Amino acid sequence: MPGFEMIAEEEKKHVNQVLDSTVFMRYGFDGMRNGYWKAKELEQALASRMQVKEVHCVSSGTAALTVALASSGIGAGDEVIMPTFTFVASFESILALGAVPILVDVDDTLTINPTAVEKAITPNTKAIMPVHMCGSMADLDVLKAICAKHSLLLIEDACQAIGGSYKGQPLGSIGDLGCLSFDYVKTITCGEGGAVLTNNKTYYQNAHKYSDHGHDHIGNDRGAEAHPFLGYNYRISELHAAVGCAQIEKLDGFIALQKRNYTILKEKLKAVPGITFRRVPEGGEENFSFLNFYMPTIEKARLAHKALKDGGVDACFYWFDNNWHYYRKWEHLTHKTALGKLPKEVLQQLPDYSKADFSASDAWVGRNISCLIKLSWSAEEMEARATKMATLLATI
């Protein structure tokens, strides 16, 4: 991770095909295309690789989350349960629809805690959104059982986890809908882009219409298409999709490289006293984009992060103090800061997160160090890096 490390002639070939056609939009202009439909090509490749019936590509991972929620009928006043550890896009997509993000604790998987989920369910709850952070999954069987018990939707945010799997199924293919991101620093990149995955024909039909101003895409005359419901513009461009067409073909190779480098690092760190590792649910396999380990205390985690940084080890993150990925720095959500008026449902139903007790999350995220696994590191470079990290961490 990330895929931009491996941009090469394959990506140039696909992009040049679009440039030569001069058609950058995914819809229309049939006669000018020279037969190239890159968004459709990427969707077909993703459907095959992700083992789902339907895929619709959109402009970003955030767009994928928003479209997935809207396509399943989530709207004003509906509550969506999500974890305290994620990227801000998770709650942004919920709020964009006038729905209400309900934050709950994470556990030793660094993903949503099913026990906390069940306690947070109210008559307004419509969906559970597990986020497979840093390449590994939530306890999906337990979450599926909770959803079945309470008639809730399971919407997987697999934006950081493409290539991972749970009991043989690709992450993102297990819930009612799944979402992927192809932004510049994801395992495969389009520069910007995302995808909605589903086996539900209705949700797919809703998704491709909603993400294109409500166009029904029936017939061959775009100007004559009907608008069965309101929509917005979350379209992916042919240029972005073209990059993705090359990258998806490289995914398995990327995962193999990440696994090699991840394994080298983990084997070295196992020998450091006091270090433990995140729990991966039984039957799950990470996409190996990050190695996550725990120090014995929050204080030692901060010292460890500083020691790695001072020692010249880059790409190691301490999410507990991060502005974007952990609830502690989400002041704009806590204070409901927006450019315009927020919907009354959000103002009335959003919990006061300034008073929330997420100490259970703090106990895990506060002790965690997250190490990015780069594709471009050779095995020799990874061995040297791992040895250096182990040496530095042994002094904490």
DSSP string, 225-290: ---SS---B-BPPHHHHHHHHHHHHHHHHHHHHHHHHHHHHHHHHTTSTT-EEPPPPTTEE---SE
Is residue 250 annotated as part of the catalytic site, yes or no? no
CA–CA gap between residue 179 and residue 115 (Å, rounded): 24
> Which ranges of the chain does DSSP label H, i.e. alpha helix?
9-21, 38-50, 61-71, 89-96, 114-120, 140-150, 201-210, 238-269, 298-310, 331-334, 344-349, 359-365, 379-393
- Find out whether 121 and 81 touch, Cβ atoms under 8 Å: yes
Quickly count: other Cβ atoms within 10 Å of residue 226's Cβ: 11
Query: What's the chain's length in residues?
Result: 396
The amino acid occupying position 95 is L
Using only the alpha carbons of the chain, give its radius of gyration: 21
- Find out whether 222 and 27 touch, Cβ atoms under 8 Å: yes
Spell out the residues 6+ positions from residue 151 whose beta carbon is closer than 8 angstroms to its own: none
Q: Tokens 């979402």 map to which residue?
A: 179
Quickly count: other Cβ atoms within 10 Å of residue 101's Cβ: 23
367 phi and psi, to 5 degrees?
-100, 0
Q: Taking the chain, what is the end-to-end CA distance rounded to the nearest angstrom?
A: 28
Beta bridge partners of 112: 106
Of the candidates 38, 53, 119, 186, the residue annotated as catalytic is 186
Active site residues: 186
